[in-house]
Structure 1
Amino acid sequence: MTPAEPRRASDYPSAPRFLRTQEAADYLGLSARTLEKHRTYGTGPVYRKLGCRVVYTIDELEAWAAIGTRRSTSDPSEGTGCILPSQSPRLIGRAA
């Protein structure tokens, strides 16, 4: 398996209960930075804080990825979203 290929639950035979950001990003086939940005903008998968650590469950990662499932490029739903700071809810309405 190359690092660019997304991982599946079956790739973790004795899967840890929680994955840290880098492991979760590898699992999804994303960079850790992209996952961090999604977390910042509120567009990413559900996560937990254990002390100072951010962790994800495989079930939540798969649920978030399933939101992006499409049959056609014309499907109307928004999916997991693109990270565009200019469209972030926190930034809308702010003076430039």
Structure 2
Amino acid sequence: MTIENIIHANRDLLDERAAADLIDVAPGTLSVWRSTGRYNLPFIKIGRKVRYRRGDLLAWMEARTRESGATA
């Protein structure tokens, strides 16, 4: 892996606040979702830190896109 790839990968990792801002929820909401498993939203643990990949968040939102009011 080149240094450019490492730098790019690190920019792709968001802390809880930035991830919450991206998907328009409170940071505490992400914490609850992680602990309860309510949504299958991938995250990375680095020691005590939690990080989210921007691409995973965007894919998660895309998968939740609906064409109608159906919730199933």
Contact 1:18–1:57 under 8 Å retained in 2: yes
Match of 1:57 in 2: 53
Match of 1:30 in 2: 25
- AA of the residue aligned to 1:70: R
Aligned length: 62
Alpha carbons of structure 1 residues 75 and 32: separation in structure 2 relative to 1, 3 Å = closer
Match of residue 19, structure 1, among 1, 14, 19:
14
**What is the percent sequence identity of the aligned residues?**
29
CA RMSD after TM alignment: 1.7
Structure 1 consecutive aligned stretches of length 4 or more whose deviation exceeds 3 Å: none
> Which is higher, the Rg of structure 1 or of structure 2?
1
| Alpha-carbon separation, structure 2, partners of 1:47 and 1:75 | 25
Contact 1:20–1:56 under 8 Å retained in 2: yes
Higher relative contact order (CA 8 A, sep 6+): 2
Gaps of 5+ in 1: 1-14, 77-96
Q: Tell me the TM-score normalised to structure 2 length.
A: 0.75
Match of 1:93 in 2: none
The structure with the largest strand share of the pair is 2
Alpha carbons of structure 1 residues 32 and 72: separation in structure 2 relative to 1, 3 Å = same
1:20 offset after TM fit, Å? Answer: 0.6
Gaps of 5+ in 2: 1-9
1:74 offset after TM fit, Å? Answer: 2.3
